[in-house]
């Protein structure tokens, strides 16, 4: 054993070597010992195509849990994976194409999918190596991609089961559509922002109405008033002729309790094809749903221009508007409204909330589109019942209430996405049946051929062969919502039976509704069990001033840069230190530098210990290893006091680990190592160490080895490097050594007093 230490700790020359040693020797795999308690965590799979950001570094909380339970002797599995991230990855690839002067429309479906696949796998290794740089002890032999054939098979099976049970249906309703990215989104994926826009007051027959979207007036089908509004009560039910930019149209005044009499003039135009509230109102009053905006965000007047005997003035206007983006058409309309005397006034100071695409920022268009939906209510009830029965716990506990609130307010979930990249929906339509039904007036077919992934060879109704598959793919949250049971069924022969339900799901609180609640719903329904027993939610990583990190602000902390500069241990400890579960973290380079200094302090303590042991050896002094027998023979009060303190620290830190109070544990270890050992104990006993005092060195070595064990889950590299150089009884690497005590529930004074033995 090489007991020498360089004068300064160099993470740059140490960490990669140690990680390679761990991975090569299979130390990250479960021990599979008979009778050992299973403990499993599934890594929230990062985007296979993207570099890690500092938020991903919060996976350190999972590594702390995993290393702790591995040292307890549990059968421990931390399963890694990579997410195909359907829309997000296609978005990135389209930006890549744009740099080459191309777009997704230049390729057929199969070619585009293959190109994205190659693009993803060319970059996937970068993300996984970054996880290694952070010291994450993932079992790489079980690494799973969310487009693994076994994962896809599970997703297909779930879809068919839900469909057969009547929990998945297809419906034509308004979807949140991004006209730039060409796909719809669920309600959760719409980013609402506050914006100032002009409010246009327009003449509608005998009324004046106010709207921020004059362009949708071409598809207004009614006028709505609050039935309690005395100003308009006499008009309810009456049909009026309204002069528009393309000629007169008839509209009926309908009652709507949701109309705010104090907004604008208290009368609203109803456009079922472009407003979610109006869509529901339209169903109640049987109003037509005919869009004026197409899926490219352009005005579509082909319906009007196809008519005969149109006045030249109106035809000219329709041609002027047709095929243009809304931003271009709106000012043209305003001028024409002025010309016709239909514009009363413009309020330039109107502030309202609008939905935008969470990725590109384009204003979301509510557009009618047939999609697949999940009936959420039955699934949400099962998840809520499981929470109420304490089958799943939340850390911090306050998020239990938040989860139940989300589960009680979910709308039916649109799981269709108009992407190429992803898991294609296994639904086929028979074109022969469709053509036959389309010839029957007012007859609509909702018949779809749904499989568990197998391609049907013929229609079960007419035995026709002309079958066309739905072009949509699944919302990525639908497949990732099945991650716990799907990944374990795919990762190993017996992994599902051994490790499901998983022990802890750890992730950021910001995706509690997006992912955690959906995993609960799908996991319970598909397996009859909760997918995880505990949900640990960490906060968001912000800059030193508490502001959200963004490239535009220039305040982004690059985790890989911090590792290169200060070492992975420093970044890991900085992310945990002083940060309770569920609370946002203010991270700065100064804080990381401070934790680098702590790693150096540990190194200096270890170097001083080794020099003292070598000095004693030169005096032919064999320093005995600390044992219970030696403990009863201790004569120095300072040594006895230190043993008592390290035992109390071990007990306290272990309780913190069991209660998920990792910040508390980190702070105690920091304070004890730096201030109790380095500042006081070493300084007060330097003379004894210099003289080769056997008792002092035995106690010092025992205490320091115990500190290394307790710190290992937090700072695995520097602790392993020191462990390998300090003489000890065991030959095991630190990663496989036992925790100083078994568990808080089995603690005793005797166990604590022998905590130095491996």
Q: How far is CA 264 from CA 149, 684, 687, in A?
A: 56, 79, 85
Q: In Å, how far from its chain's centre is CA 703?
A: 40
Q: CA 567 to CA 592: how far, in whole Å?
A: 9
| Domains of the chain listed by start with CATH number | 44-167+375-425+470-537 (3.40.50.620), 183-357 (3.90.740.10), 589-753 (1.10.730.10)
**Per-residue pLDDT reduced to its tens digit, 23-37:** 999 999 999 999 899
Tokens of 50: 């993207």
pLDDT at 621: 73
Q: What is the DSSP string of 463-526?
A: ----EEE---EE-HHHHHTTHHHHHHHHH-SSHHHHH-SEEEEEEEGGGIIIIIHHHHHHHHHH
User: Quick one: which of 449, 454, 479 has its CA closest to 464?
Assistant: 449
Q: Tell me which residue has tokens 């005797």.
A: 750
Weakest mean pLDDT among 106-120, 454-468, 585-599 = 454-468
Q: Are 415 and 374 in contact (CB under 8 A)?
A: yes
Q: Are 429 and 470 in contact (CB under 8 A)?
A: yes
pLDDT of 553 above 80? no
**Per-residue pLDDT reduced to its tens digit, 567-626:** 999 999 999 999 999 999 999 999 999 999 999 999 999 999 999 999 888 776 778 888
pLDDT of 2 above 60? no
Q: CA 293 to CA 361: how far, in whole Å?
A: 18
Confidence tier at 552 by pLDDT (50, 70, 90): low
Q: Are 128 and 143 in contact (CB under 8 A)?
A: yes
Q: Are 602 and 722 in contact (CB under 8 A)?
A: yes
Q: What is the dihedral of CA 116, 122, 124, 127, to 10 degrees?
A: -130
Cβ neighbour number for residue 631 with a 10 Å cutoff: 17
- Tally of residues, the chain: 758
User: Quick one: which of 289, 432, 477 has its CA closest to 367?
Assistant: 289
Confidence tier at 631 by pLDDT (50, 70, 90): confident
φ/ψ (deg, to 5) at 514: -65, -45
**Per-residue pLDDT reduced to its tens digit, 147-157:** 999 999 999 99
User: Quick one: which of 214, 264, 204, 262 has its CA closest to 235?
Assistant: 204
Mean pLDDT, the chain, whole residue set: 92
Q: CA 652 to CA 752: how far, in whole Å?
A: 11
Confidence tier at 635 by pLDDT (50, 70, 90): confident
Handedness of CA 530, 531, 532, 536 (dihedral sign): negative
């Amino acid at each position: 054993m090489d007991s020498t230490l360089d004068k300064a700790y160099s993470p740059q020359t140490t960490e990669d070597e140690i990680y390679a040693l761990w991975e090569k020797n299979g130390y990250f795999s479960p021990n599979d010992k008979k009778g050992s308690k299973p403990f499993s965590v599934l890594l929230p799979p990062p985007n296979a195509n993207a570099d890690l950001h500092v938020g991903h570094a919060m996976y350190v909380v999972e590594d702390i849990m995993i290393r702790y339970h591995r040292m307890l002797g549990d059968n421990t599995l931390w399963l890694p994976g990579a997410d195909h991230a359907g829309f997000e990855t296609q978005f990135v690839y389209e930006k890549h194409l744009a740099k080459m002067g191309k777009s997704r429309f230049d390729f057929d479906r199969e070619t585009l999918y293959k190109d994205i696949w190659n693009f993803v796998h060319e970059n996937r290794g970068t993300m996984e190596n970054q996880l290694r740089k952070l010291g994450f002890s993932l079992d790489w032999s079980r690494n799973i991609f969310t487009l693994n054939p076994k994962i896809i098979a599970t997703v297909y099976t779930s879809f068919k089961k839900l469909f057969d049970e009547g929990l998945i249906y297809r419906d034509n309703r308004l979807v949140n559509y991004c006209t730039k990215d060409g796909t719809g989104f669920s309600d959760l994926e719409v980013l609402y922002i506050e914006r100032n826009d002009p409010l246009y007051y327009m003449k509608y027959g005998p009324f004046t109405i106010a709207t921020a979207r004059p362009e949708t007036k071409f598809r207004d089908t009614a006028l709505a008033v609050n039935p309690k509004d005395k100003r308009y009560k006499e008009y309810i039910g009456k049909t009026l002729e309204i002069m528009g930019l393309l000629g007169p149209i008839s509209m009926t005044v309908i009652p709507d309790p949701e109309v705010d009499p104090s907004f604008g003039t208290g009368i609203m135009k109803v456009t079922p094809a472009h407003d979610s509230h109006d869509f529901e109102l339209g169903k109640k009053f049987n109003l037509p749903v005919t869009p004026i905006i197409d899926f490219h965000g352009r005005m579509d007047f082909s319906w009007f221009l196809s008519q005969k005997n149109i006045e030249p003035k109106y035809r000219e206007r329709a041609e002027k508007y047709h095929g243009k983006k809304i931003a271009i058409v709106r000012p043209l309309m305003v001028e024409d409204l002025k010309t016709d005397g239909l514009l009363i006034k413009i309020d330039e100071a109107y502030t309202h909330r609008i939905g935008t695409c969470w990725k590109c920022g384009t204003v979301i268009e509510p557009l009618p589109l047939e999609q697949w939906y999940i009936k959420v209510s039955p699934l949400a009830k099962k998840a809520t019942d499981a929470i109420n029965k304490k089958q799943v716990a939340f850390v911090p506990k306050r998020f239990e209430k938040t989860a139940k609130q989300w589960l009680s307010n979910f709308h039916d979930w649109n799981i269709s996405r108009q992407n190429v990249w992803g898991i294609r929906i296994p639904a086929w339509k028979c074109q022969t049946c469709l053509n036959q039904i389309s010839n029957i007036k007012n007859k609509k077919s909702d018949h779809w051929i749904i499989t568990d992934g197998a391609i049907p060879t013929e229609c079960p109704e007419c035995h026709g062969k002309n079958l066309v598959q739905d072009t949509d793919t699944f919302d990525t949250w639908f497949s990732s919502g099945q991650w716990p049971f799907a990944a374990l069924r795919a990762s190993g022969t017996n992994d599902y039976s051994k490790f499901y339900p998983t022990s802890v799901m750890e992730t950021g609180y910001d995706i509690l509704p997006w992912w955690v609640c959906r995993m609960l719903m799908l996991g319970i329904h598909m397996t009859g069990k909760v997918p995880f027993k505990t949900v640990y939610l960490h906060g968001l990583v912000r800059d030193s001033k508490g502001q959200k990190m963004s490239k535009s602000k220039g305040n982004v902390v690059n985790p890989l840069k911090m590792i290169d500069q200060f070492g992975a241990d420093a970044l890991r400890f900085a992310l945990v230190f002083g940060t309770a579960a569920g609370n946002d973290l203010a991270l700065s380079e100064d804080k990381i530098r401070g934790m680098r200094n702590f790693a150096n302090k540990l190194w200096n303590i270890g170097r001083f210990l080794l020099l003292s042991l070598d000095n004693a050896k030169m005096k032919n002094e064999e320093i005995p290893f600390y044992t219970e027998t030696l403990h009863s023979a201790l004569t120095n009060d300072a040594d006895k006091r230190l043993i008592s303190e390290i035992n109390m620290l071990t007990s306290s830190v272990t309780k913190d680990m069991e209660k998920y109070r990792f910040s508390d544990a980190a702070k105690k270890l920091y304070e004890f190592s730096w201030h109790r050992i380095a500042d006081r104990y070493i300084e007060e006993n330097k003379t004894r160490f210099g003289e080769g005092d056997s008792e002092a060195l035995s106690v010092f070595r025992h205490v320091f080895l115990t500190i290394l064990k307790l710190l290992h889950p937090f700072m695995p590299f520097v602790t392993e490097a020191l462990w390998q150089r300090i003489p000890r009884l065991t030959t095991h690497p630190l990663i496989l050594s036992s925790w100083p005590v078994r568990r808080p529930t089995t603690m005793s004074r005797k166990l604590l007093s022998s905590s130095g033995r491996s």
